[in-house]
Chain A
Amino acid sequence: METYRIEDVVFAFPEKEKEALSHISLTIKSGEFITICGKSGCGKSTLLRQLKSILTPHGKRSGKIYFCGQPIEEVDQRTQASEIGFVLQNPDNQIVTDKVWHELAFGLESLGCDSATIRLRVAEMASFFGIHTWFRKNVSELSGGQKQLLNLASIMAMHPSVLILDEPTSQLDPIAASDFLETVKKINRELGTTIIMTEHRLEEIIPITDRLIVMDEGAIIAEGLPEHVGAALNRMKHPMFLSMPTPMQIHAGVSSGLPSPVTVKDGRQWLNAYMSGKTPVAIDIIEDSPKQASAPVIQFKDVWFKHDRNGPDVIKDLTFTVEAGQFYCLVGGNGTGKTTTLSLMSGILQPYRGKILIGGKNPLKMNVKELFTNNVGILPQNPQTLFVKKTVRLDLYEMLSQTALTKEEKASMIDEMVAFAELDHLLDIHPYDLSGGEQQRAALAKVLLLEPRVLLLDEPTKGLDGFFKEKLARFLQKLNASGVTIVMVSHDVEFCAKYGEICSMFFDGSMITTNTAIRFFAGNSFYTTAANRMARHIWSDGVTIEGVIERCQKSR
């Protein structure tokens, strides 16, 4: 039985010439697990929103969409509300009520179920999802992962036959994300619910997906089993191949004639098969000759911090130094004090013991101008908190409104920044209408107008796809080359391994190890990149995809 049949759907937003979806044809069988991927703005979300009429944006559509054999327009709203579950991106925005139990019941209340039915279904869902321990809590007490799980559960309480998820894990940290995906997998496997989801984190989703669909410019460019799609993308030399799981990429980089691995486990077996009879070659880690001991920019000396008098210590005896021109990455689990450390650097928080020096001075004793102009620049986790004006251009000018520059000087500064951040085609757009990656760049441009010497970044890769990450990385490297010191807090291990210079592991309020990126990840066994987990039994220092490919190719 088929859940959806999409026949030659073309869709264009009002007053736009370009088609957002062009000639999409797709059949989705009941119980299938379908993953759709593609660059941001490729039409994934637009396609998903066509599948539930109440969420369909305005615009011109041609072609037919059938839900269980019936044209979607003719399926009444009540059936659509209960049969088609839709989980959106932001966990916070989807929660409507103040209590967990009320949120679980919300959909059923709308459908007009009686109290006994709601009581039963809510109880079932709470048990299935393991929510019963926080069933009576206020939603504001939940973590991001719990919130998204609650959204999923409150939709599952309506017993949908198909579940559509639009980048559900993009705002979650890796642990919460894999928990969430695990639950989605359980729903598909144990309840037989059809799953259609879009996702950036392909590494974890591909092993459980039945069919992978790749979209570009509103059209489907590849479709089928993940292994086949990966091979097809590689043949096309398509940039989306960089989002495929690491084992696939390594396999493609080394021509072996063996079938393509998908998971790290398969990858290890493949690597063993490939390496049998060959001697692994050792490649010395070529590190940039250690920069001549440059001046320390940020110094932490025995710093302790807690949020309130009787609260637990968040930062415990933290001592470290960031030198001028470094690209410094802070990695580690949730709630280990990484973001708090950034706030301490910017003087928003104040340690109760120990000393923090920014360029040799205490940030709390500097005045605002001294600290934030030509000195420390901070990109907040949510770039939206920086945008003030109607267009990107006005927003950039606003940043200079309090300086004593002439009009020409301002204009030339902004032109320079716009060229650097590649914002020229976005200048007259409202900042909120930009995509995640573009917002990130616009916000960064804003901060850079203050000409910081130290740039603090809080999870800059959150919610970005592989393509935009690459772009951001190049952008940061350019900045770094021009002498700006970068300190970055991130969960994105792959990103830090590839582009970071120094990495530090945070745990329980202080740093456990600090080393150059390659040595750092080579020294870890679990908290490391997928490439390293796959190849570390042969090359413990093979950290990046490129590094492992190079070693494979050179081994004879």
Chain B
Amino acid sequence: MKDRFSSFHPIVNFVYFAAVLLFGMVFMHPILQTASLASALLYSIMLNGKKAVTFNVLYMLPLLLVTAVLNPLFNHAGVTILFYLKNGNPITLESIAYGVSAACMFVTVIIWFSCYNAVMTSDKFIYLFGKIMPALSLIFSMVLRFVPRYIAQLKVISNAQKCIGRDVSQGSILARARNGMTILSIMTTWALENAIETADSMKSRGYGLPGRTSFSLFRFDNRDKLVFLLMLGLIAVILTGAVLGENTMRFFPSIKVPDKSLLSFTVYMAYLGLGLLPVIINVLEEVKWKRIESRM
């Protein structure tokens, strides 16, 4: 299934991920954490399919368990003592709860990052940076052009040297090292020599004139606006909750979850809505498409 959320403007993508990552790290509240973890899991599976399932089961689940177990072994704060270890240290309910919560947070953030990687491709990243620093975005673009080019050229040089018996794969260890140095030296000369023509080409197209602009194919259209506003609204609700102390709980010395109220319920729903935003967009688009298809 093709992800539709990726087709939104990079600003929308970026703000979304910035928000979920930040909230995921800061808010330690069982309901919010469960919501965040669930939506991260769902979205990662939607994006990467089977690969995400194996990744989550094989790496994230053990990581979650290990982190959850490790905390109470080293952290002995809390008032509800369950039992004592052989060395006399207490194991407390609070430290176990905190361990589970921290592990959950850790895993959630990692899964969100895996989604981020799939959605924020290099050109989106370059575009965002270009907004802040135009020169930097050109450098990124040039790096992406020249690194593959140099690697290809290295292969050409290595093959040419192989034909006169001077490749890194030929001769004694000492000879190989020497051949490697030679190849690097040829590469450097070649790169510098050819860069002159690149510089000429840039200058001849007016590079260096004052007032350079930065062009991109991305457009901020109405659907971007709609989703962006919706997202900002949800973020505002969540932040209000944070200011009123609804989004965090107390672990030490004793566990205390904020009281449930209409406000806290609204915050939970907003948080779940934010987390599931890409999933909802994908599902809606899919339903719409199915309907069009059935009519055709």
Beta-carbon contacts of A138-150 to B below 8 Å, as 1s and 0s? 0110000000000
Q: A54-B203, A388-B182 are in contact. Are A372 and B164 (CB under 8 A)?
A: yes
B215 at the interface (CB under 8 A from A): yes
A172 at the interface (CB under 8 A from B): no
For the complex, count residues of A whose C-beta is within 8 A of B: 67
Does the CB pair A368–B209 fall under 8 Å?
Answer: no
> Can you show 16 pairs from A to B with CB atoms below 8 A apart?
A90-B197, A93-B201, A97-B145, A106-B205, A109-B215, A136-B217, A154-B205, A158-B206, A346-B162, A348-B163, A368-B165, A377-B163, A377-B164, A380-B160, A385-B161, A447-B164
* Residues of chain B contacted by A86 (CB below 8 angstroms): 200, 204
- B17 → A minimal CB distance (Å): 23
- B115 → A minimal CB distance (Å): 23
Alpha-carbon distance A93/B210, docked complex (angstroms): 24
- A168 → B minimal CB distance (Å): 12
B residues neighboring A (CB under 8 Å): 123, 138, 141-142, 144-145, 148-149, 152, 156-157, 159-165, 170-171, 175, 182, 185-186, 189-190, 193-195, 197-198, 200-217
Alpha-carbon distance A119/B185, docked complex (angstroms): 42
A98 at the interface (CB under 8 A from B): yes
A405 at the interface (CB under 8 A from B): no
* Residues of chain A contacted by B170 (CB below 8 angstroms): 368
Alpha-carbon distance A384/B161, docked complex (angstroms): 11
Does the CB pair B141–A107 fall under 8 Å?
Answer: no
* Residues of chain B contacted by A54 (CB below 8 angstroms): 203-204
Q: Which 5 pairs of residues, A with B, have the shortest CB-CB distance? A: A81-B206, A110-B206, A112-B211, A107-B205, A385-B160
* Residues of chain A contacted by B156 (CB below 8 angstroms): 380, 382, 385
- B81 → A minimal CB distance (Å): 60
* Residues of chain B contacted by A380 (CB below 8 angstroms): 156, 159-160, 163
- A96 in complex: contacting residue of B142, B164, B193, B211, CB < 8 Å: B142
Q: Tally of A-B residue pairs with Cβ under 8 A?
A: 153
Q: A109-B215, A115-B213, A380-B160 are in contact. Are A388 and B197 (CB under 8 A)?
A: no
Does the CB pair B141–A387 fall under 8 Å?
Answer: no
- A115 in complex: contacting residue of B138, B195, B198, B215, CB < 8 Å: B215
Does the CB pair A99–B123 fall under 8 Å?
Answer: yes
* Residues of chain B contacted by A155 (CB below 8 angstroms): 205
- A251 → B minimal CB distance (Å): 39
* Secondary structure of the B contact surface, majority rule: helix
A111 at the interface (CB under 8 A from B): yes
- Minimal Cβ-Cβ distance residue in B for A81: B206
* Residues of chain B contacted by A82 (CB below 8 angstroms): 206
Alpha-carbon distance A93/B185, docked complex (angstroms): 19
Does the CB pair B197–A93 fall under 8 Å?
Answer: yes
- Minimal Cβ-Cβ distance residue in A for B152: A140
Q: A102-B141, A110-B212, A348-B163 are in contact. Are A432 and B189 (CB under 8 A)?
A: yes
- Minimal Cβ-Cβ distance residue in B for A154: B205
- B186 in complex: contacting residue of A101, A376, A388, A402, CB < 8 Å: A388
15 other contacts beyond A102-B215, A109-B212, with CB at 8 A cut-off? A55-B200, A93-B201, A96-B141, A98-B141, A99-B123, A109-B214, A110-B209, A140-B152, A158-B205, A346-B162, A377-B164, A378-B163, A387-B189, A388-B182, A399-B164
Alpha-carbon distance A119/B216, docked complex (angstroms): 9
Alpha-carbon distance A102/B211, docked complex (angstroms): 18
A229 at the interface (CB under 8 A from B): no
- Minimal Cβ-Cβ distance residue in B for A347: B162
A94 at the interface (CB under 8 A from B): yes
Alpha-carbon distance A34/B20, docked complex (angstroms): 62
Does the CB pair B142–A97 fall under 8 Å?
Answer: yes
- Minimal Cβ-Cβ distance residue in A for B204: A86
Does the CB pair B204–A93 fall under 8 Å?
Answer: no
* Residues of chain B contacted by A119 (CB below 8 angstroms): 215
* Residues of chain B contacted by A357 (CB below 8 angstroms): none
Does the CB pair A111–B209 fall under 8 Å?
Answer: yes
Among B138, B156, B161, B217, chain A packs the most CB atoms within 10 A around the CB of B217
A78 at the interface (CB under 8 A from B): yes
Alpha-carbon distance A183/B260, docked complex (angstroms): 72
Does the CB pair B215–A108 fall under 8 Å?
Answer: yes
- Minimal Cβ-Cβ distance residue in A for B194: A93
Alpha-carbon distance A159/B121, docked complex (angstroms): 32
* Residues of chain B contacted by A89 (CB below 8 angstroms): 197
Does the CB pair A113–B145 fall under 8 Å?
Answer: no
* Residues of chain B contacted by A376 (CB below 8 angstroms): 163
Near B by CB (< 8 A), chain A positions 73-130 give: 77-78, 81-82, 85-86, 88-90, 92-99, 101-102, 105-115, 118-119, 122
- Minimal Cβ-Cβ distance residue in B for A90: B197
Alpha-carbon distance A118/B273, docked complex (angstroms): 38
- Minimal Cβ-Cβ distance residue in A for B206: A81
* Residues of chain A contacted by B201 (CB below 8 angstroms): 88, 93-96, 151
Does the CB pair B204–A81 fall under 8 Å?
Answer: yes
- B198 → A minimal CB distance (Å): 5
Does the CB pair B141–A97 fall under 8 Å?
Answer: yes
Alpha-carbon distance A52/B206, docked complex (angstroms): 12
* Residues of chain A contacted by B186 (CB below 8 angstroms): 384-385, 387-388
Alpha-carbon distance A71/B165, docked complex (angstroms): 55
